[in-house]
Each structure stands twice: as C-alpha cells, then as structure tokens.
Amino acid sequence: MFGSGPGTAHESRGLSGPVLIPTRFVWPYGGRRVFLSGSFTRWLEHIPMSPMEGCPTVFQVVWNLTPGYHQYKFYVDGEWRYNEQQPFVTGNCGTVNTIFLAGEPDMVPTSFSPETSGRSNMDVDNDVFTHVEAVPRFSQADLDISRHRISMFLSRHTAYELLPESGKVIALDVNLPVKQAFHILHEQGVPVAPLWDFGKGQFVGVLSALDFILILKELGNHGSNLTEEELETHTIAAWKEAKLRLNRQLNGNGRCYPRRLVSAGPYDSLKEVALGILQNKVATIPIVHSSSQDGSFPQLLHLASLSGILKCICRHFRHSSSSLPILQHPISEFPIGTWVPNIGEPNGRPLAMLRPNSSLADALSLLVQAEVSSIPIVDENDSLLDIYSRSDITALARDKAYTQIHLDELSIHQTLQLGQDANSPYGFLSGQRCQMCLRSDPLHKVIERLANPGVRRLVIVEAGSKRVEGIISLSDVFRFLLG
C-alpha cells in the first residue's frame, strides 16, 4: 500500500543523498486501477496506488520527493485525470496538479518516514488530502495563542448550544432491578444513564458500564454476597449501597461517602462543563434545568460529553483554522496521549494492551485498576486486532449471557463474538469499533475524528503493520488544549 520513492536505498545504507520528503498522494474518486505519474518520475513511470482499507473508492500512495516544485497527474482506468480540488495548472502536459515542498531541514517533521507516512485506517475521513505538506515545528507562542483562543471560545459559549433540536434522553428509576437496567442500556445503545429518585424528586447519580463490570466481578468472587438470583430483583439503589460497602472494604478505613451527582445547567459555560468532566473523571454530565427556586423536579435536557464540545470547537473554527496555528502540526510533536515508550526511554504511564486469548477477568481488572475506558487487543507483534471498551460489557446483558459464563474461562475473542449481531459475521478489524490514526496525522484531523459521535479514542498505529504506538482519547485532547 505504501510506495517508496527514489533514494530509499541511500538512506538505509547511511550514505549521503538528497533530502527526501515522504509525501502522500490520494485519489478519492474511485476506479479499478489507479496510477500516479509526474515530473518526479519524468512522466515515464506509473506508480501503482492502492485502495485505502475500509474505503475502496479512495486510492493512495506515499512517494519520496525532493524539495521544490513538482507536477503530477493520475492515470485512472486508462484515462489521465487530475484532482480539481487541489492546485493545478495548464501547460505542455495538459492540466496537471502541482505541489511545492519547502527544503529547509527544520521544515521536515521528524515523524515523517516511509514507514509512518500515509494512512492505514479501518475507517477513513471523508475529507482527504492529496499531499502532506511539511510544516515547521510548533512554537510555545503558537501553543499559547491556540490555547487562549479555544479557552475564550469555551468561556463565551454555554451548554445550551449542545442541546439538539430533537432527540431523547434516557433516565432510570433507582428502584428498577439492576438486571433490567442493563438490558435497557444495551438495547438503547447507551453506556450511561442518569438515575431518578421519585422520593427525593431529583437526579441522584448515574448508572454506567463500570457498575456492570463491578457487579460481574462481585458475582465472580466466591465470597460475594450478591447472587445471580438476587440480581433479578436487586434494585439500582440497593446496588449503590452495596457499592459503598465494597468501597469501604477496599479503603480499609470504613469511611466512604457517596459521590454527589455532577451536573450542569444550560447556561453554564462550555469550559465549565469540560472541566467538570475532566476533574470528575466521568464520560458525561447531565444538563438539567429546574424552574423552581429549590431546584426540585428538574428537567433532564441532555447528556453533555467532550465529543459534543469538541464538535462545537470544530464548527466555530472551521473557516478560521489559521487562528489556531497548532492544528497543522503532527500529533507526534505534542505531549498528548499515551505512547508506547521507545527503547532506552524512561517508562511513563504504561499503555495497557491484551492478547485475544486473555481472559475477560483480566480485561475487567485492567479496565478498573488502570482507570482506562478501553484496551487495544493486539497479536504477538503488537499489531492492532480489535479494542475492548467498558461499554462492551453491556452486551452480556443480552439473553442473560452473564449467567452462563465464567470470567476466568471466557477469552476476549469469545467475549467480542458474543457482542456481535447475529446477522453480521464476526471479524477483527471492525471499522466501527477500531478508530485509528498515524503519528504523522495533523492535530486537526485527529480532532475532527474525535468529534464524531461515539468516537472516544483513536489508536495510534504504524502504517502497514498496524503495530500499536499509542492511544489518544477525548480527555487527552482537552487536557492538552486547556493546558
């Protein structure tokens, strides 16, 4: 899929040679056989292009170019074509696309290499670029300016702007049986729901996939006080009380108080909402409004998430992205996300990964202990196969699957199979589940993809091998943008 331009041999032998810049070319308009040719091949060689994985109508190739001005064209099913969405000129060779690459050494991002340039994703952006232009490394001034402008935007806009024109928000009664509650979460496709207490006339908490994980772990303990039969009638309120007792045992001091519900009003700023999510380590914050002075019987308007706030940022700066100078820089330049440390580097926060034959018990323990929301599933070469997230656990509520399994005996592979629809054959590398990016991808592309509903993290992989290099979550992006 990834071509290599001239001069690669010189580089591999350590010999001096011309400065070469790996450059990605994309033809997004379909075809059966697509080739690239240009002034850099003296118009004699046709470079084969390969369809992107998960998007067969988009073809790409990476080719090493010398700095300077180049012309190129695409040969599609026997016909010469050019991309009208990219710069072009008309000359002796007809209408051709053009590209200019700066030649200063500090203009070449260190992350660009034949192995890491380009894109090898299971799902592909609709907005593709014909080439990747080299840009200078970011400065602290650029970072400060970008952070200031984003902070000002979030401070001046309110949570009211997150409310959709129409939609539904699911809330659960605290007296609902736990088993039924998780069936609802699975059937509605939501990982979390606010809890309503009719006696108090207010929202008192949330039920999340983490609760189901803790319940399953408790059922798996031989000394558990919670039986499968009790789960049929055990209410959410009773589980929350049991969870408090468990926390007291874990803390060892007998003092543990229920966490207050973290919520926001429609006129709170987007910055306050984002900071509330980050500081409380929650996925969503209910937006509630009450017309009474004592705040009783509030209306649940929306569940605010970092994804929705990021979408507001993208929409606001869409036509003025130059005002955020850091957006054009590759993500590898920033201290953002969790990365696999290179050999010789001190270990920071380890990146949790599992093999497909690891047990479900191992996965659940890792999700809880590492305080992460997902774990990449990799093969023996650390190449990405799939991803297991907290929200996947609710799939076990279907047909009471949780009553028929043993956490230590069920593998991750088998667990993911249980979560597949009956009419869709199971297979690794699901485009809907595995969202990937490359270390050479610019920050704005990562932000645009994370702003899509349901996308909470991107796995950073090596092009071609799909070896996991890191992971970037919504929380990582906001911690970086807000400083």
Q: Per residue in 333-355, pLDDT tens?
A: 899 998 887 644 544 567 889 99
Query: Contact at 8 Å (CB) between 203 and 194?
Result: yes
pTM above 0.75, yes or no: no
Query: Contact at 8 Å (CB) between 407 and 217?
Result: yes
- Please tell me the distance from the alpha carbon of residue 258 to that of residue 239, in angstroms, as a whole number: 12
Query: Contact at 8 Å (CB) between 395 and 410?
Result: no
**Residue 172 confidence (pLDDT) above 90:** yes
- Please tell me the distance from the alpha carbon of residue 293 to that of residue 271, in angstroms, as a whole number: 25
Cα 91 versus chain centre, distance? 44
Cα separations (Å) of 372 from 216, 294, 331, 472? Answer: 18, 37, 21, 12
Q: Residue 220 phi/psi, 5° resolution?
A: -75, -15
Q: Which is higher by pLDDT, 129 or 440?
A: 440
Average pLDDT, rounded, for the chain: 77
Q: Which of the four pLDDT bands, split at 50, 70 and 90, describes residue 440?
A: confident
**Which of these, 194, 206, 151, lies nearest to 170 by C-alpha position?**
194
Query: Contact at 8 Å (CB) between 447 and 477?
Result: yes
| C-beta neighbour count of 6 within 10 angstroms | 16
- Please tell me the distance from the alpha carbon of residue 217 to that of residue 365, in angstroms, as a whole number: 8
pLDDT in tens, 77-97: 888 898 887 888 877 667 888
Rounded average pLDDT over 277-289: 91
**Residue 258 confidence (pLDDT) above 60:** no
